[in-house]
């Protein structure tokens, strides 16, 4: 399967736009497998630095993870205030604490405008964006999390550091 839609300005992107490798993760902030992949992906980002563009897209598995959609909304509310990546990190670092009070505490820790943050959560301001990510994931063949794409092609091996490094190095050569 290939990535649909392609990476665009609507995505959350870390790394240079001209990187040789684009790694897209469809993830769920409450998913234990995504939580286990998080430090591996951070290590990958450090190792590949200027050669890697990392993209995160939401794929909350709400039936299995009751806080996943709200956590995704919190990440988007933080993004509206320029703090997507710091919130992304806090959510994965605190996967077992994703209730409303926890999310407000993280927003305060990041120095967000708490009134705007709460209004965005209450109004589900970014739910359409999250649903668009999910729809794109479904079109791309995502059926669980984390699901990764390297330069638009689905990566179906284990999310383990050595195998992922090998796949990324192979993609950089092509």
DSSP 8-state class, residue 2: B
Q: Which residues of 54-77 are buried (b: 16+ CB within 10 A; e: fewer)?
A: bbbbbbbbeeebebbbbbbbbbbb
> In this predicted structure, what is the pLDDT of residue 94?
98
Structure tokens at 57: 């897209």
For residues 63 and 95, the answer to whether their CB atoms sit within 8 Å is no
Q: What's the mean per-residue pLDDT of the chain? A: 97
pLDDT, average across residues 22-34: 98
Indicate whether 174 pLDDT > 80: no
Sign of the Cα pseudo-torsion (102, 27, 136, 46, in order):
positive
Q: According to the model, what pLDDT value does residue 21 have?
A: 97
pLDDT range class, residue 172, cuts 50, 70, 90: confident
Question: How high is the pLDDT of residue 106?
Answer: 98
- The residues near 125 (Cβ < 8 Å, ≥ 6 apart) are 73, 76, 77, 80, 119
CATH 3.40.30.10 given to domain 12-173: yes
Beta strands in the chain (DSSP E): 12-14, 21-27, 52-58, 147-150, 153-155
Which tens digits make up the pLDDT trace of 84-136?
999 999 999 999 999 999 999 999 999 999 999 999 999 999 999 999 999 99
Res. 162 pLDDT band, cuts 50 70 90: very high
136-149, pLDDT tens digit by residue? 999 999 999 999 99
CA distances from 35 to 2, 49, 63, 112, 119 (A): 24, 21, 18, 24, 28
């Amino acid at each position: 399967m290939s990535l649909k839609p392609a990476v665009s300005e609507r995505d959350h992107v870390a790394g240079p736009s001209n990187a040789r490798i684009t790694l897209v993760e469809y993830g769920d902030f409450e998913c234990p497998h995504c939580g286990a992949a998080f430090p591996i992906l951070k290590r990958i980002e450090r190792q590949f630095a200027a050669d890697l563009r990392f993209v995160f897209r939401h794929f909350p598995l709400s039936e299995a993870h009751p806080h996943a959609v709200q956590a995704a909304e919190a990440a988007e509310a933080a993004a509206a205030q320029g703090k997507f990546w710091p919130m992304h990190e806090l959510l994965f670092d605190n996967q077992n604490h994703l209730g409303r009070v926890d999310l407000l505490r993280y927003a305060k820790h990041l120095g967000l405008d708490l009134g705007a943050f709460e209004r965005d959560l209450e109004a589900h301001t970014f739910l359409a964006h999250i649903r668009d990510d999910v729809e794109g994931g479904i079109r791309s063949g995502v059926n669980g999390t984390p699901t990764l794409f390297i330069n638009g092609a689905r990566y179906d091996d284990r999310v383990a550091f050595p195998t992922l490094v090998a796949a990324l190095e192979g993609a950089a050569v092509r």
